[in-house]
Structure 1
Amino acid sequence: MPKPLENEQLTFPILIGDIGGTNARFSILVDAYAEPKQFPNVHTADFTTIDEAIQVTVLDKTSIQPRSAILAIAGPINDDEIPLTNCDWVVRPKAMISDLGFSDVLVVNDFEAQALAIASPAEQYREPIGEHGETSLASRVVLGPGTGLGVAGLVHAQHMWFPVPGEGGHVDVGPRSERDYEIFPHLTPIEGRISAEQLLCGRGILNIYGAVCAASGIEPVYKDPAEVTTNALSGADPVAVETISLFSTYLGRVAGDMALIFMARGGVFLAGGISQKIIPALKRPEFRQAFEDKAPHSHLMKTIPTFVVTHPQAALSGLATYARTPGSFGLATDGRRWRG
């Protein structure tokens, strides 16, 4: 097992990768002052392995050969072979060092990268949700509905930011309102329970939509979450409108729970493509009402700002920030950094 190398600078140029269940995004950071060199997004289903994807879409396309790599992956990091949660790739850092020419590979959780990105987000890349739109130098939380539901905290202490990865997307979610009790019996559970991720992701939108249809005694017509969101935002379909209203409500409840767990006075940030697409729905009352409805701490919740992260490559931005200034972050590397 590799030894801890806390806050030690990686050698430039650095390959930066954000590996999700559906898409992988790569860039190369030539030095601490350069802007990352971006490469086209990769569909994970198009390549058998991550090594093949890196070789074909990055290394074969540039004369800049990275010395190090920082990879953010969707899944827990427990061993030298790291399977991704929502796709068939397995990250093998030792093989990357021997086969792709890296001298140093650091692997972090994908939502650690999102957490790094919210340490100092540029104002133009955050869209306030609710009246309170100012951050403070205090702990924060990021949630990202996408292929799954990612959650991470960012704790501020000792003049440093400490990203806290976890699997918060798999907490239980239960019914509260009268309408919830009509809908929840029709939701598709996972191993007997309704987790946040069963509702707050792409397939979660379809899960809610199907349950609303069943509870209302009508046949579903949409098979793609994008169809539901499009028809909800346009107001063309009342069932789609209710689906995204409920999605916003459930997201508000879970976001509020995470804010309480981390005492996230510095703000709660919603990342990912779904959040960006449904900003008009999130700006309606349901999200903030559900977020703040946390008696006996509703007054506290009203003071916590919420934002949608609108940066097109937020995770890569967070990793680049860490690569430039690792001393600003208490990022644990023990068991997650490999050297040739």
Structure 2
Amino acid sequence: MSIQRGLAADIGGTNTRLALVENGRVLENTIARFRNADFETPEAAIGTYLSEAGRPACASAVIAIAAPIDGPAIRMTNHPWTFSADCIGKVLGGANITFLNDFEALAYSLDKVPTERLQPVYEPSLKLRSNATRLVVGAGTGFNAAALFQTPTGFHVGTGECGHSTLPVETEDELRLWNYLALNRGRASVERALSGSGLKEIHEWYCLEQGLSPRDLSPADIAERANSGSDPLCVSAARQWVTFLGRVIGDLSLVFLSLGGIVLTGGVTRSLARFLAEPEFINAFCAKGRQQKLVSGIPVHLLDDDFAALAGCASRM
């Protein structure tokens, strides 16, 4: 059998993940991760990867990008890179280039993820409907979601820009926080809260509410202090963050009717995994009025594979 080789790339707001693909299968020993900030262009990052991999010949490449995919030129939302199929094709020696949204690639990977990579967060007593729509949701540098629909002819993915919808709040405290996140922005989007920078700003607001000057802590610092329980303000920020996450994915489960389950991913989500087991998350997820029973029957899992989207890219070659 002839070997069809290609390149898979998952390009987020902070990191680029790449791997070689043979006959639709990711070669795990070729997986690499680069920091976007180390390169001026995506072509430079891909070129460096190919050089380190020995300049393999690739007939095609599927590039998943954290941006809306619309037309031949793609501009990232949370990073200054732009993408051109012609420019990337030249780096790859004339390979055929396909662009996907990064969550489109993640959704296509869901039927390929080993069950041991999915950690249960919420398991209802009802049995999982294996042929129902599934949803993948991620919070990292930004926030987004995509739905995997199973049809008689195969899988179909629905994508959006869910992070740019308006952040839903329910209490007076949350309204004050919403106004803080909206300051000089006109409004507070979901991504203003459910991202690394969002966790940082939520923590800043909790400091200000206590009459304290905001501390210069990174999202990783806040998560570490919250997980250890050593810093009450970081714990409060983490609980508010997962409350927003539960509420938003509960809303999305109704929009997409994702009765097949929800898969959570993203660096910030994983960093606060401990808090997903606390009541704030599940209560916010299930609190959907007359549809509470429906949403309460949807299982939620956490994906611990940071390279899953590469398999989704490989499936589209």
TM-score range, shorter chain: over 0.9
State the distance in 2 between where 1:247 and 1:224 align.
15
Whether 1:12 and 2:4 are equivalent positions in the alignment is: yes
Q: Does 1:116 align with 2:116?
A: no
Q: Is residue 205–residue 214 contact of structure 2 (8 Å, CA) maintained in 1?
A: no
Listed one character per residue, the Cα deviations across residues 98-146 of structure 1 (whole Å, up to 9, x for unaligned) are 3431331110001101111223431111111123386422101111101
Bigger share in helix: 2
Displacement, 1:188?
Answer: 4.1
Describe how 1:101-140 pairs up with structure 2 within 5 A. 101-132=93-124, 135=128, 136-140=130-134
Shift of 1:90: 1.3
CA contact (8 A) 2:139 2:269 kept: yes
More off after superposition, 55-64 vs 198-207: 55-64
Is 1:42 aligned to 2:37, yes or no? Answer: no
Give the whole-Å Cα distance in 2 for the aligned partners of 1:49 and 1:259.
Answer: 36
Which residue of the other structure, out of 22, 36, 39, is the alignment partner of 1:30? 22
Judge conservation of contact 1:114–1:271 (CA < 8 Å) in 2.
Answer: no
Contact kept, 8 Å, 1:213 with 1:220, in 2: the verdict is yes
- Asked if the contact 1:13–1:68 (Cα under 8 Å) also holds between the matched residues in 2, the reply is yes
Alignment counterpart, residue 162 of structure 2, candidates 141, 162, 168: 168
**Is the partner of 1:41 in helix, strand or coil?**
strand
Is the CA contact 1:182–1:215 (under 8 Å) kept in the aligned structure 2?
no
Distance 1:313 1:272 in 2: 11
1:79, CA displacement in angstroms? Answer: 2.1
Relative to structure 1, the CA distance from residue 35 to residue 61 in structure 2 (aligned partners, 3 Å threshold; closer, same or farther) is: closer
* Structure 2: distance between partners of 1:259 and 1:316: 25
* Structure 2 counterpart of 1:8: none
TM-score (norm 2): 0.93
Pairing of 1:66-215 with structure 2 (within 5 A): 66-132=58-124, 135=128, 136-189=130-183, 191-215=185-209
What's the TM-score, normalizing by structure 1?
Answer: 0.87
Of 266, 277, 283 in structure 1, the residue corresponding to residue 277 of structure 2 is 283
Question: More deviation in 224-233 or 171-180?
Answer: 171-180
Secondary structure in structure 1 of the residue aligned to 2:295: helix
Secondary structure class of the residue paired with 1:119: helix
Paired AA for residue 161 in structure 1:
F
For 2:24 and 2:92, locate their aligned partners in 1 and report how far apart those are by CA, in whole Å. 22
Partner residue, 1:313: 307
Q: Which runs of 5+ in 2 are unaligned?
A: none
Q: Deviations over 1:188-221 (max 9, x none)?
A: 4463111100000000001111111222222222
Q: Which 4+ stretches in 1 moved above 6 angstroms?
A: none
Matched residue type, 2:75: P
Change (3 A) 1:166 1:132: same
Q: Does the CA contact (< 8 Å) of 1:119 and 1:161 recur in 2?
A: no
User: How far apart are the structure 2 equivalents of 1:190 and 1:123?
Assistant: 44
2:234 to 217, 240, 261: 240
The gaps in structure 1 that reach 5 residues or longer are 1-10, 324-340
Name the count of aligned residue pairs.
313
Write the distance in 2 (CA, Å) between the matches of 1:142 and 1:241: 26
Are residue 294 (structure 1) and residue 282 (structure 2) matched?
A: no
1:151/1:166 contact within 8 Å kept = yes
TM-aligned CA deviation for residue 65 of structure 1: 1.8
Q: Which amino acid aligns with 2:289?
A: A
Q: Using CA pairs under 8 Å that are at least 6 residues apart, name the structure with larger relative contact order, 1 or 2.
A: 1
Amino acid at match of 1:162: H
Q: After superposition, what is the alpha-carbon deviation per residue over 1:26-63, rounded to whole angstroms, capped at 9, x for unaligned? A: 00012245634424311111111111111112244325
Are the structure 2 counterparts of residues 190 and 131 from structure 1 closer, same or farther at C-alpha, using a change threshold of 3 Å?
farther
* Aligned ranges 1:52-67 → 2 under 5 Å: 52-67=44-59
